[in-house]
Amino acid sequence: MNPTVRKILLVLLAVICLGCAARVGYQIFQYDQGDKTYAEAEALVDLPDLSSLPAPTLPQVDVSSSSGSDTSSTPEPVYVDPYADALRNMDFTALREVNDDILGWILIPDTKISYPLVQGEDNEYYLNRTWRKTRNSVGAIFMECQNSSDLSDFNTIIYGHRMNNSSMFGILKSFEKQSFWASHPYVYITDDNGSHRYEIFAAYEVSVEGDTYRLGFSSDASKQSFIDYCLSQSVIDTGITPTIYDRILTLSTCTGNGHATRWVVQAVLKGEAPSDAAQNVQPEEPISSNPDSSQITDTPASSGNSSSDSSTSQADSSAQDEPDSPSSSAATSQQGATSSEEPPRISQDIRPDPDEET
């Protein structure tokens, strides 16, 4: 080989190696800065020590009422969830002095998901900004800008990046395994109204155009169709079936399979049916399963319907693996729920669109 050509090739190879090393180094730096920023948030909010609490367990089906035993005995005490009880008095004043977009805190016990929950004026701002509004590719855990900040919507959507180090929403992919759900069955959101325990009931991969991202619901029938759709898509069988009187939480992140799909984990906060509620909801035209939705198979397991202590008083693409965040080209957002027959969906222009990493 010509010595000159050889030298040129060696120089090019060295430049490529240096570029790769710089990229990896920058990614590690971003992760480190992100970890420090969110550790600071935990200190400011005085996050209670949860390490001594028992691991969350699946609710047991109560068979006593059907066993024919005497029901006149002393009633059982009301169950108080230890995590909700520990979290309910969290004070967000210090966090809001830094950022008044803070809504509360989201936690899945025994995972890395323990972060401030924010909501911006659009779905772009927190893609590459932390809870402190400082630039970092880890971003923040943020609520869909069209949702009500008090979690009162029938379907509330929360986005987070899928990071290589399993931070942010990186761990959500593990819910494709029935065993992981069984040991991590709840999502806790704490805000000014207390701590709320959501029961995870579904996990699946869905098209960015899928009905999972519906926001407005014009009737009880549309809510029931949405529930049926979510259950039909799930790759795990939890035995938990939401009702139209409950509230659903949709956690959304990316899949690693390109820009066309997202991975979602859905949980339900149990509500109470009004005393005059109809026994049966007549379904509207059912939501069709999106042919683009990709299913990941896993061995199903079952769990009885659970009753919970639902409410206790109280990017830089270089460092991210898979963000689930709105596209950087978004310029507009839709209004929330409408009275139209077809409930609105999030415009694909503001749907999470990742910059994928290897």
pLDDT on residue 336: 40
Q: Give the model's pLDDT for residue 2.
A: 77
pLDDT of residue 23: 59
How many whole angstroms from its chain centre is CA 290? Answer: 21
Specify the CATH number for the domain of residue 41. Answer: 2.40.260.10
Residue 73 within any structural domain of the chain: no
pLDDT at 56: 86
Angle 191-94-128 from CA coordinates, rounded to 5°: 80
CB proximity list for 285: less than 8 A, separation 6 or greater: 225
For residue 180, the tally of other CB atoms under 10 A from its CB is: 18
Report how far residue 4's alpha carbon sits from residue 6's, in angstroms, rounded to the nearest whole number.
5
State the pLDDT at residue 29: 61
Residue 140 lies in a domain: yes
Provide the pLDDT for residue 281. 53
Predicted local confidence at residue 302, as pLDDT:
38
> Into how many domains does the chain fold?
1
Determine, yes or no, domain membership for 357: no
β-pair type (141-143, 114-118):
parallel
Look at residue 16 and tell me if it is in a domain: yes
The predicted-structure confidence for 268-298, as pLDDT tens digits, reads as follows 999 988 877 655 555 555 554 443 433 333 4
Q: Give yes or no: 20 in active site.
A: no
302 secondary structure, DSSP code? -
Quote the percentage of the chain above a pLDDT of 70: 67
Confirm whether 213 is domain-assigned. Answer: yes
For the chain, 358 residues long, the average pLDDT of each consecutive 10-residue run is: 72 71 65 90 93 81 44 64 92 96 97 97 96 95 97 97 92 97 97 95 94 95 97 97 97 86 97 71 51 37 40 42 44 39 47 43
| Residue among 255, 39, 33 at smallest CA distance from 128 | 33
Domain that holds residue 94: 3-49+78-272+281-350
pLDDT at site 320: 47
Active-site option among 17, 20, 230, 254: 254
What's the confidence (pLDDT) of residue 346?
Answer: 56
How confident is the model at residue 57, as a pLDDT?
82
> What gap in Å lies between CA 176 and CA 300, rounded to an integer?
10
The pLDDT, as a whole number, for residue 280 is: 53
CB-CB contact of 120 with 102 (8 Å): no
DSSP code for 211 = G
The pTM for the full model equals: 0.74
Count of other CB atoms within 10 angstroms of residue 72? 6
pLDDT of residue 76: 63
25: its two tokens: 């180094």
Q: Report pLDDT for 266.
A: 98
Residue 318 lies in a domain: yes
Query: Six-digit token pair at 260?
Result: 């066309």
Does residue 65 lie in a domain region? no
Quick check: is 63 in a domain? no
Closest CA to 257 of 297, 230, 293: 293
